[in-house]
């Protein structure tokens, strides 16, 4: 969403959200857009870290924030993307990791999982457009 005002960005986000979304859903989506914008700017200014360093950071952080097995999946995804772009691999991995970490602060920010009848089970769909 380069070249449009923040107000127009917010209006577009609101248009894409379902009518029954919560205030937390709106806040989260605004947070994601702004975080991604800042990270892309930062990625343009700094040099990307190596795949090995990214894997170490993921392994260190995954012990407390990601469910068992998820960190391995995230490493696999980042490794695949790193074949073409280590920079984008870092952005994707950090975005997914940040989303998982945010659930601790906003546990009801995700939507309920349609396949399960459990209000406490939530999911966040993460998309990174670079």
Residues 6 or more apart whose Cβ sits within 8 Å of residue 32: 95, 99
pTM higher than 0.95, yes or no?
no
Specify the higher pLDDT residue, 17 or 2.
17
Instruction: Tell me phi and psi for residue 79, to 5 degrees.
Output: -65, -40
Q: Please tell me the distance from the alpha carbon of residue 130 to that of residue 92, in angstroms, as a whole number.
A: 9
Structure tokens at 23: 């205030």
Structure-derived torsion over alpha carbons of residues 66, 104, 123, 9, reported in degrees to the nearest 10: -120
- pLDDT tens for each residue of 52-88: 776 666 555 544 445 556 777 777 888 888 888 888 8
């Amino acid at each position: 969403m380069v070249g449009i005002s923040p107000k127009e960005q917010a209006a577009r986000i609101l248009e894409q959200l379902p009518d029954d979304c919560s205030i937390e859903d709106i806040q989260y989506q605004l947070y994601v857009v702004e975080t991604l914008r800042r990270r892309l700017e930062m990625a343009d200014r700094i040099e990307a870290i190596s795949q090995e360093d990214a894997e170490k950071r993921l392994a260190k952080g995954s012990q407390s924030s990601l469910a068992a097995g998820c960190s391995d999946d995230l490493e696999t995804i980042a490794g695949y993307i790193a074949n073409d772009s280590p920079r984008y691999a870092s952005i994707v991995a950090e975005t997914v990791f940040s989303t998982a970490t945010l659930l601790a602060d906003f546990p009801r920010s995700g939507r309920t999982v349609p396949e399960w009848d459990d209000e406490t089970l939530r999911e966040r769909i993460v998309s990174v457009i670079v």
